[in-house]
């Protein structure tokens, strides 16, 4: 029964999510052209270094520059359109579930307060923020990162393997970060909920607590939960901050390593000078979705936890059966042998 109940809540969420399937395909198509236009910078640098500087043709430089302005303008419009579409997709998802989640929160709260009923509406907000955030668009860009890596391999295989190694290290650091902070993050969330529940109870029964002189014991109990949540959150922030600093340092080192290796290959006549800048640009573009996901991983985790909690909430509060709509009553008054006498009079007025 529990598996079936959870499945029913997941079906409701997926039904609301699938309302925008056509828009997801449109965003995916825009992402295809947007990422292809990201190759404009590397190709432009190759042409400038290898052709324009060699031929000293100003006409070629002007023509290439105008073409780059046009392509970057189109790319900017596509990115802007993607953001607007996903903002509206998030709003549609929330509108589709707001009324249902609100009713489920009332139904579950009537039976007793639990974690899902307390956080149901906030969880819907967390999912909407994830859909409208840049990290969701980065998920559309991530499949195109191998295209940029292939472009680096075309410049030189050594540059390509260096880029692949750097991306693998960044992904490994992300997995390690999640493995280290998962327990502390979960414990912090539970303790925050317990502290909030205690504060709500104290506020509702403040008169009785003051009359019985229980202020100090209640305060100590609340501080214990609050301090535990803060300690777990501090450990989580320490680990996350350390991995973020390490990731940023590694990314900067990787870009410098690409430049250094590219310069060595140019000195060995294995690559042209334009390939140095082109390889660095391609690497930066390949790392953009990875870095965005790393920096906004907390948004992903909040949306994932919110999805699971809302599924449990909806499963435990099924939709109430539809009531039979009765027709509006028709008023009908019939009187027989009616006599009306005014107060103080003896003659009937009617």
DSSP line for 240-276: HHHHHHHHHHHHHHHHHHHHHHHHHHHHTTSS-THHH
DSSP state of 348: B
Write the pLDDT tens digit of every residue in 154-210.
Answer: 888 888 898 888 888 887 877 777 777 666 666 666 666 666 666 666 666 666 667
Q: Is 116 exposed, middle or buried (0-12, 13-18, 19+ CB in 10 A)?
A: buried
* pLDDT value at residue 25: 92
- Domain 144-295 fold is ABC transporter transmembrane region fold (1.20.1560)
Average pLDDT value for residue range 91-97: 86
Is 50 exceeded by the pLDDT of residue 10? yes
- Report the run of H or E that residue 185 belongs to, with start and end: helix 157-204
pLDDT in tens, 299-320: 887 888 788 878 877 777 676 6
Note the pLDDT of residue 2: 39
Whole-number pLDDT of residue 297: 76
Give the helix, strand, coil percentages of the chain, each rounded to 5.
85, 0, 15
Q: Say what the pLDDT of residue 112 is.
A: 60
Q: What is the pLDDT of residues 277-290, one digit of tens each?
A: 888 888 888 888 88
Predicted confidence band at 70 (pLDDT cuts at 50, 70, 90)? very high
Residue with the bigger pLDDT between 74 and 290: it is 74
Nearest to 83 by CA among 94, 75, 71, 73: 75
> For the CA atoms of 263, 268, 271, 273, what is the dihedral angle to 10 degrees?
40
Of residues 245 and 264, the one with the higher pLDDT is 264
Burial of 346 (0-12, 13-18, 19+ CB in 10 A): exposed
Q: What is the pLDDT of residues 204-245, one digit of tens each?
A: 666 666 766 666 676 676 666 666 666 666 666 666 667 777
**Identity of the highest mean pLDDT range in 33-37, 44-48, 232-236, 307-311:** 33-37
pLDDT value for 4:
42
pLDDT at 41: 81
Instruction: Identify the residue with better confidence: 5 or 7.
Output: 7
Over residues 52-79, the mean pLDDT reads 86
- Which tops the pLDDT comparison, 244 or 71? 71
Taking the whole predicted model, whether its pTM rises above 0.95 is answered as: no
pLDDT for res 118:
63
Predicted confidence (pLDDT) per residue in 96-153, tens digit: 888 888 877 777 766 665 555 566 678 888 888 888 888 888 888 888 888 888 888 8
Smallest CA-to-CA distance from 298 within 249, 243, 254, 250 is with 243
Strand partners, 254: none
Per domain, the residue ranges of the chain are 1-133+300-319, 144-295
pLDDT of residue 113: 57
- Mean pLDDT across the stretch 69-82? 90
Q: What is the pLDDT of residue 104?
A: 79
Range with the lowest mean pLDDT among 24-28, 60-64, 268-272? 268-272
Residue 3 — very low, low, confident or very high, per pLDDT cuts 50/70/90? very low
Q: Which residue has the higher pLDDT, 76 or 176?
A: 76
């Amino acid at each position: 029964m529990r598996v079936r109940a959870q499945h029913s809540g997941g079906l409701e969420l997926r039904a609301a999510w699938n309302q925008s399937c056509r828009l997801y395909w449109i965003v995916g198509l825009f992402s295809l052209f947007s990422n292809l236009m990201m190759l404009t910078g590397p190709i432009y640098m190759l042409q400038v270094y290898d052709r324009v500087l060699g031929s000293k043709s100003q006409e070629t430089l002007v023509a290439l520059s105008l073409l780059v302005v046009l392509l970057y303008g189109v790319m900017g419009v596509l990115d802007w359109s993607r953001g607007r579409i996903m903002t509206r997709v998030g709003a549609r998802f929330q509108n589709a579930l707001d009324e249902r989640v609100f009713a489920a929160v009332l139904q579950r709260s009537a039976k007793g307060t639990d974690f899902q009923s307390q956080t149901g509406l906030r969880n819907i907000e967390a999912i909407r923020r994830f859909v409208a955030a840049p990290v969701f668009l980065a998920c559309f860009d991530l499949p195109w990162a191998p295209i940029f890596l292939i472009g680096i391999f075309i410049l030189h295989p050594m540059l390509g393997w260096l880029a692949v190694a750097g991306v693998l290290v960044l992904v490994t650091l992300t997995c390690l970060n999640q493995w280290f902070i998962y327990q502390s993050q979960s414990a912090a969330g539970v303790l925050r909920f317990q502290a909030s529940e205690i504060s709500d109870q104290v506020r509702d029964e403040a008169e009785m607590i003051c009359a019985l002189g229980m202020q100090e014991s209640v305060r100590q109990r609340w501080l214990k939960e609050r301090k535990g949540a803060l300690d777990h959150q501090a450990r989580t922030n320490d680990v996350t901050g350390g991995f973020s600093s390490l990731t940023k340092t590694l990314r900067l080192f990787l870009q410098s390593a690409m430049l250094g290796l590219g310069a060595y290959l140019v000195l060995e006549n294995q690559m042209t000078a334009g390939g140095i800048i082109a390889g660095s640009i391609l690497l930066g573009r390949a790392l953009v979705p990875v870095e965005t996901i790393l920096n906004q991983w907390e948004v992903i985790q909040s949306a994932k936890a919110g999805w699971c909690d809302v599924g449990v909430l909806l499963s435990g509060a099924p939709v109430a059966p539809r009531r039979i709509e009765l027709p509006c009553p028709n008023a009908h008054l019939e009187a027989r042998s009616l006599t009306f006498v005014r107060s103080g009079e003896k003659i009937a007025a009617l």
